[in-house]
Amino acid sequence: MFQQQLYIYLVNFTDKSALIAINAATAKGVIEAYRRIADAGRSRRPEHLIKLNTEVLQPGAARSLAELETHIVTWESNLDYFHRVCEAGSQISTSQQRLILINMATKELSEFLTKESKRFPSYHDVRTEISDWIHRATSPKTMSGALHVHQVEEIVDGEALLDLDYPEDSSAQVDLNVVATGEGRMVEVQGTAEGDPFTRAELDDLMDLALDGIRRLVSAQERALG
């Protein structure tokens, strides 16, 4: 729609030099030309840049996973423009961008990313995990009712692992098997202490690991099925 309106404007209200340049450009060049034209129409008045800075720093959380991708894409576009027009030294660091991205997520996803922050140390890691959650929430639920089994065990040194090989299995301190649907609904849970008893907190951590593994497995299967 925007490109159509822009084309009409270039044909009827300019000397057509911009239109000629766009038609002669490659696909990448066309996108860049549209970006420059759009930027030229955006206000750079101080009060508008202050408002843009606020929108970039505090974009707010998405109301649902279905709208999260659009929310992020809009924010990334505003962020890119802000970095092109802001004063030197005012750019937002990648670590800040990562935290803002987490806060833009829905409540459940944001809490998960915060709790598992060590697993997602970079902006790219967070963005990829968010994309996986969005895919699972918005793609056809062809795999949601399927059963998936994950074996989780806590080995002697206290590290929780998923789908152990034989050497790890033979030295495990806790043996936990989880059967669940692609929606995360429990079918069967079996846990045994192979040595010292384990705590409720350790059980909760193992269950979180198992269900996260099942979510990732379902996501991979759905992507493979198209």
Same domain, 127 and 187: no
Q: How many angstroms from the chain centroid is the CA of residue 2? A: 27
The pTM score is 0.48
Show the domain range for 186.
147-224
CA 218 to each of CA 134, 139, 140, 215, 224: distance values in angstroms, whole numbers, following the listed order:
13, 11, 12, 5, 10
Residues 185-225 have pLDDT tens digits of 788 888 888 778 888 888 888 888 888 888 888 777 777 77
Domain termination site, one of 108, 138, 168: 138
pLDDT tens across 153-164, in order?
Answer: 555 467 777 776
Query: Domain end: 89, 115, 138, which one?
Result: 138
User: What CATH number is given to the structural domain containing 201?
Assistant: 3.30.230.70
For the chain, how many structural domains are there in total? 3
Q: Are 156 and 128 in a shared domain?
A: no
Amino acid at 85: V
3-state secondary structure string across 126-148 = HHHHHHHHHHHHHCCCCCCCCEE
Q: Are residues 91 and 125 in the same domain?
A: yes
Residues 53 and 81 in one domain: yes
Q: Are residues 134 and 152 in the same domain?
A: no
d(CA 112, CA 115): 5
